[in-house]
Amino acid sequence: MTGAVIQGFDFGIAEQPHFFGGVAQPKFPLSDHLAWCDECTRANESVLFHHRAIQHDGTHANQNGIFNRAGVDDGLVADGDIAANPGGKAAALGVWAIVTDVYHRAILDIGAVANTDEIDIATHHRERPDGHIVPQHHVTDHGTHRIHENTLAKRGGNCAIRSNVHALDSSPRTTTLPRMENFIDTQPSELAPTLQRLRSNWQASKPDYAQRMDDLGRLRHALRLRMDEMAEAVGKDFSHRAKAETRIADGMTVLNDIDHLRKHLRKWMRPTRVGVGWRFLPARAQVRPMPLGVVGVIAPWNYPVNLALIPLATALAAGNHVYLKPSEHTPHTARFLRSLLAEAIAPGRVAVATGGADIGAAFAGLPFDHLVFTGSTAVGRKVMAAAAAHLTPLTLELGGKSPALIAEDYPIEHAAARIATGKWFNCGQTCIAPDYVLVPKGKRDALVKALRDEAVTRYGENLTNLDDYTRIINAGQYNRLKGYLDDAKSRGIERVTLAGHADPAQRLLPPTLLLDPSDDALIMQEEIFGPLLPIKSYRSLDEAIAYINAHDRPLALYPFSHNRATVEKILHGTLAGGVSVNDTLFHFAIGNLPFGGVGPSGMGAYHGRAGFDAMSKQLPVFWQARRSGGDLLKPPYSKAKWLIDLIVR
Ligand code: NAD
């Protein structure tokens, strides 16, 4: 972009010191670089402020256009990247609508809106709404060549908004604005410098045990305190997500994993002494888990907190810094994650990039020390290709069709109850949801009845318990699922709606069974990722196992049998990413179990120790002794013949 800076806006947050009279007053020069202000030191606090000036060609033609060209949606604006840093060093910055108040470990929220001729910015102190911070800012511009400065602040807090181009005008106004509802995607040009910053911070100060425990503890604490806010953000992204499901799947799972990491971290970090074998005595050897550097995390939309924070927490536990890219389909959650991380973790150690596939592709091409990708198999292939450029080590957590296999001996009602949970939790939008069920031929109709009973008990005959039934994330996904039903209809496949009916306006898709679909039906070709459940009858266990093996290795497998030999036969005869016997989903939640796919359903694993190891370099260290037989192994070898004869046997 060319042209002069014709308007920039800065907003300064000043915290009044505890003692009366020492009002801190940051002054931020307008410039296109980081402005550092430490004039708040009397409050024992510094605020690092970064603004991006808005540039245009100087004609003032159209402010919307200016915003748009600056990459700013005109329905919003808080075009500031802000972070506070207690030590006075540069902090890693993203486009944040949040200021961390380091001194009080609290959060200042900033809401901002813009219309064609004014920008309003309001802040409030979330933890102490009546406290002594809370300045309000109002900026008008720009066509009028004026900037209003508003020093209205409760109890003497001070703020300043300035322009170096236009005249400064003071005109107190109050504005009460909603918090920003949207935020700006990361620009591709920001990615590499952010990674570089994370890496140099890491190099300068690699997190030790105390630091890692502290980070994990603060992340846990912040998430627990903000659980309702998290559920609200996720709910907005889904338009409706059963709150209990969010608390369990995006809350409990993360807390559980962090607890597990914290409990075992000291032990995992210890070097493991290993024997050298008699030929190399009296040397010693050990394996030392070393942090790798910066781990990239790309997350999908279906459990947008869980699948962002568990890899992130694991990477932090292993002593790395983390660069996270949440899904573009969950912008509210992405904003929540950004603010949560800003609150919990010093900004130099984590960063968040936002954006869609283009940013994802550029992100995957960064030279990370490790990259954890969770998403579809198709995108996983692209990620692997992008990572190949730097030989970036990968953990690929992908999808696929995960079968439930009910054996002859297992009570159908019990199987139906547990399959119903696995399938309709999050409306089937779960990577390890049972994708289809294999059931003995004579029991198919009993299973249909039992599943109907489950659906009606859970959601009501007419899907009246809508609160507990999650919606399909977006119209694209809804139409994809609807396409499977239309395709099944055109093929004459029997479809059984278990409760209620579809409502595209709400993206409400009821639990629906498809009975014995042919293999060429779309629903049997692709991962379903929704509340539709094909039931396939089989005549013998061997036939069922052969069916599973004729398809891609699944991410999860759910054998249902109380007969140990039957379970062993299924486990022996197949290979899946993970297994829950006589239930669904649960293997994901167990901290001691590595989680990951196999073949097209993924590569590598994480959770607990497996994740810690994957995101560490297992450094082999050999310690030679003062005296070593190795010193004798040199020409002329005739002198060491006796030793060579001894070891070569
Ligand atoms: P997706 O693959 O479309 O997107 C995942 C992430 O990748 C998003 O953040 C997206 O922006 C990013 N992305 C898109 N194009 C990219 C590219 N070219 N390079 C790099 N990143 C890119 O997946 P989704 O629709 O968000 O999630 C659903 C899929 O994820 C399903 O297949 C599901 O099975 C799978 N999944 C797997 C797990 C697991 O743990 N194995 C968990 C949840 C979801």
Q: Which of 254, 431, 477 to mutate to test the pocket of ligand 1 (most atoms within 8 A of CB)?
A: 431
- What pLDDT, on a 0 to 100 scale, did the predictor assign at position 311? 98
Q: Which of 323, 325, 379, 603 to mutate to test the pocket of ligand 1 (most atoms within 8 A of CB)?
A: 379
- What pLDDT, on a 0 to 100 scale, did the predictor assign at position 274? 97
How much distance in Å is there from the Cα of 58 to the middle of ligand 1?
Answer: 42
**pLDDT confidence bin for 185, thresholds 50/70/90:** confident
- What pLDDT, on a 0 to 100 scale, did the predictor assign at position 27? 29
Higher pLDDT: 75 or 221? It is 221
**pLDDT confidence bin for 197, thresholds 50/70/90:** very high
Residue having the nearest C-alpha atom to atom 15 of ligand 1: 357
Residues of the chain with pLDDT > 90: what percent? 69
| Cα pseudo-dihedral 364, 366, 368, 372, rounded to 10 | -10
- What pLDDT, on a 0 to 100 scale, did the predictor assign at position 379? 95
- What pLDDT, on a 0 to 100 scale, did the predictor assign at position 184? 59
Contact residues for 645 (Cβ-Cβ < 8 A; gap 6+)? none
Six token digits for residue 289: 């888990």
Task: Note if 37 is an active site residue.
Answer: no
**pLDDT confidence bin for 346, thresholds 50/70/90:** confident
Segment 50-74, tens digit of pLDDT:
222 222 222 222 333 433 333 333 3
- What pLDDT, on a 0 to 100 scale, did the predictor assign at position 499? 95
Evaluate if residue 526 carries a pLDDT over 50.
Answer: yes
Contact residues for 362 (Cβ-Cβ < 8 A; gap 6+)? 188, 191
- Quick check: 597 and 555 in contact, CB under 8 A? yes
Segment 241-258, tens digit of pLDDT:
999 999 999 999 999 999
Segment 287-298, tens digit of pLDDT:
999 999 999 999
Evaluate if residue 151 carries a pLDDT over 60.
Answer: no
Query: What mean pLDDT do residues 505-522 have?
Result: 96
CB-CB neighbours of 90 under 10 Å: 17
Look up residue 633 and give its amino acid: L
Query: What mean pLDDT do residues 334-344 have?
Result: 92
Query: What mean pLDDT do residues 167-172 have?
Result: 32
Evaluate if residue 93 carries a pLDDT over 70.
Answer: no
Residues of the chain with pLDDT > 70: what percent? 72
**pLDDT confidence bin for 634, thresholds 50/70/90:** very high
Evaluate if residue 165 carries a pLDDT over 80.
Answer: no
- What pLDDT, on a 0 to 100 scale, did the predictor assign at position 153? 29
- Cα dihedral sign for 300, 579, 534, 553? positive
Pairwise CA distance, residues 363 & 639, whole Å: 58
Task: Assign domain 192-397 to its CATH superfamily.
Answer: Aldehyde Dehydrogenase; Chain A, domain 1 (3.40.605.10)
Higher pLDDT: 81 or 188? It is 188
Pocket of ligand 1 (CB under 6 A): 298-302, 307, 325, 327-328, 356-357, 360-361, 364, 374-376, 379, 382-383, 397-399, 431, 527, 529, 555, 597, 602
How much distance in Å is there from the Cα of 258 to the middle of ligand 1?
Answer: 23
Evaluate if residue 414 carries a pLDDT over 50.
Answer: yes
Query: What mean pLDDT do residues 385-413 have?
Result: 97
Segment 99-137, tens digit of pLDDT:
333 333 334 444 433 333 333 444 444 444 433 333 333
Q: Which of 35, 32, 37 is nearest to 15 (CA)?
A: 37
Residue having the nearest C-alpha atom to atom 19 of ligand 1: 361
Catalytic choice (397, 427, 454, 527): 397
Q: Which of 434, 412, 380, 365 is nearest to 603 (CA)?
A: 380
Pairwise CA distance, residues 202 & 200, whole Å: 5
Q: Which of 142, 138, 137, 97 is nearest to 116 (CA)?
A: 142
How much distance in Å is there from the Cα of 513 to the middle of ligand 1?
Answer: 26
**Which ligand 1 atom is the nearest neighbour of the CA of 431?**
34
How much distance in Å is there from the Cα of 326 to the middle of ligand 1?
Answer: 10
How much distance in Å is there from the Cα of 338 to the middle of ligand 1?
Answer: 19
Evaluate if residue 5 carries a pLDDT over 60.
Answer: no
Task: Note if 40 is an active site residue.
Answer: no
Q: What does pLDDT average to over the chain?
A: 78
Q: Which of 305, 329, 372, 376 to mutate to test the pocket of ligand 1 (most atoms within 8 A of CB)?
A: 376
- Quick check: 122 and 129 in contact, CB under 8 A? no
**Which ligand 1 atom is the nearest neighbour of the CA of 555?**
41
**3-state secondary structure string across 524-579:** HHCCCCCCEEEEEEECCHHHHHHHHHCCCCCCEEEEECCCHHHHHHHHHHCCCCEE
According to DSSP, the β-strands at 602-603 and 394-397 are: antiparallel
**3-state secondary structure string across 172-229:** CCCCCCCCCCCCCCCCHHHHHHHHHHHHHHHHHCCCCHHHHHHHHHHHHHHHHHCHHH
**Which ligand 1 atom is the nearest neighbour of the CA of 355?**
11
- Quick check: 602 and 398 in contact, CB under 8 A? yes
Residue having the nearest C-alpha atom to atom 8 of ligand 1: 327
Residue having the nearest C-alpha atom to atom 35 of ligand 1: 375
**pLDDT confidence bin for 327, thresholds 50/70/90:** very high
Six token digits for residue 266: 């000291």
Residue 496's Cβ-count burial label (10 Å; 0-12, 13-18, 19+) is middle
Pairwise CA distance, residues 585 & 569, whole Å: 21
Which range is least confidently modeled, 63-72, 214-223, 509-518, 557-566?
Answer: 63-72
Segment 444-496, tens digit of pLDDT:
999 999 999 999 999 999 999 999 999 999 999 999 999 999 999 999 999 99
Catalytic choice (245, 343, 431, 527): 431
Pairwise CA distance, residues 93 & 48, whole Å: 10
Segment 568-619, tens digit of pLDDT:
999 999 999 999 999 999 999 999 999 999 999 999 999 999 999 999 999 9
Pairwise CA distance, residues 55 & 53, whole Å: 6
Pairwise CA distance, residues 254 & 272, whole Å: 28
Higher pLDDT: 322 or 36? It is 322
How much distance in Å is there from the Cα of 379 to the middle of ligand 1?
Answer: 6
Evaluate if residue 362 carries a pLDDT over 70.
Answer: yes
Which range is least confidently modeled, 146-150, 436-440, 516-520, 548-552?
Answer: 146-150
**pLDDT confidence bin for 186, thresholds 50/70/90:** confident
Q: Which of 253, 257, 327, 358 to mutate to test the pocket of ligand 1 (most atoms within 8 A of CB)?
A: 327
How far from 390 is each of 144, 228, 336, CA to CA, in Å?
51, 40, 31
Q: Tell me if residue 483 falls in helix, strand or coil.
A: helix
Name residue, tokens 């109002």.
138
User: Topology of 402-596 in CATH?
Assistant: Aldehyde Dehydrogenase; Chain A, domain 2 (3.40.309)
Six token digits for residue 156: 């003497």
Query: What mean pLDDT do residues 632-644 have?
Result: 95
Angle in degrees, CA 80, 82, 85, rounded to 5:
165
- Quick check: 371 and 298 in contact, CB under 8 A? yes
Q: Where are the domains of the chain?
A: 1-184, 192-397, 402-596
